[in-house]
Structure 1
């Protein structure tokens, strides 16, 4: 057992020595190859010379260190390029996002509306772009038409140039960073009507047709009524008896009296005219007496509108009584 252990230790020592020698020999070759590789990099004309790639631990660590730093520098350059590109693209996206007609909230400074604190006001974007400022570097400006009056002098004119139109006190020209988007108004669907609940236009149309039908029906009834009435009058005129002429004088008898011929020298015409004149004078005298009687009765009853109506009623009763008495006398 002891002999076997000594043999194993001896064989291990020999293997270790052999490995060390092999590593030392390979390392020297590595330095030579690395030196040649550096010379080839410096002298670009020796392109056909073979390059020996070393795989030892020292060369691997050196190579990894160099590639790490090269990649880090490249990544830093890429990151800076990406930052610049992303910043430019973000600005472009912001400009596109705040287009004309968009509702926004504006951080208006206190100097604009004569106050110590800044406030937010809702408004609508009217202009997005660069302002004509010569002393400062160009920056994107946004022209806002505010809903509220901030009591300023801004009406769309900035630095002597008009960019948009709005009422006085409702304008503001601010930086792109001083605004933020508001929630858009939810779109509503158009009212197309419902068969159970018709729209106003349909109801209006139905009412108009109904009114036309009613007018046509009324016109038809009116024409029918006129035709029937005319037929009745014609039938009555054919079947009506002859009028009876009374002996006593009345209004109809006066109308039936024939007037004499229209001759100025006719004695009968002169007599007729004299009779007409006398009757007219009597009527005038009667009217005046009646008026006097009416005035007295009105004065007795109080002199107001009610008293006048009572006097007229009594006068009519008096006339009816007189006509009755005259009829009794004639009978």
Structure 2
């Protein structure tokens, strides 16, 4: 099995010396970048670039793939998260740049600044009932069916329980009010619902996607797994509710200090629009060479907008297997 290679540059952070620190390629790794039509407007974290790591391998920070557009998008990590350069999947291990952040079950990454990137007026998180898409690519080592683990939390703080997104391995909710009071209005798929009946897989790379449609009255949950032939999808009930753009957290529940993840996270993407089913399939195909998503065969006849690119990626994966 071929070992994965990783581009690591000893570039100091601002005001720091190189001693004992490494920074993965500061700007987005061009070979790993999404095509223009799939670039997220709000946040774009991909472990192929932007990770600041200590000499012992402990992850310190994770910067956006487009730092010029979104300089404030920096996740800071508590002690215990490390850089994994060779994911356990055979397909991923054979691909250069298949890096991921390993969560030990006691650490998390947090971005205190609000999601308000520079750039055009539309390229920001909108605190409204508008459409959005959240994407998470990772691998659970602890079984999500029995161990609650956080994927993405947004605006879930100790002092403000309103307008928060809570996305864990067995819970998906958007709180419109204080959950402990009568004004709570939650969009929930929890006990007996989607994620408890269909938890993410264990010991497999997976891409989990939540798409809320325009008007916020409907949503869709998508999943692409290692070896699957196509993307799975489930409808999700939705009640219009705003989500604040502060306190983005991955890998744990910052407010309650629990729900820590055990496993790897390779990418987190946030859009201010609803991706189509074809877009989601193309995202899975983008990550396929690194993590084996949709490597079990060709997708649906109409699964790709860019059919030529999809077939080329699938043919490349098949030839390399």
Mark yes or no: TM-score above 0.5: no
Q: TM-score, normalization: structure 1? A: 0.18
Report which of the two has the higher share of strand: 2
Higher relative contact order (CA 8 A, sep 6+): 2
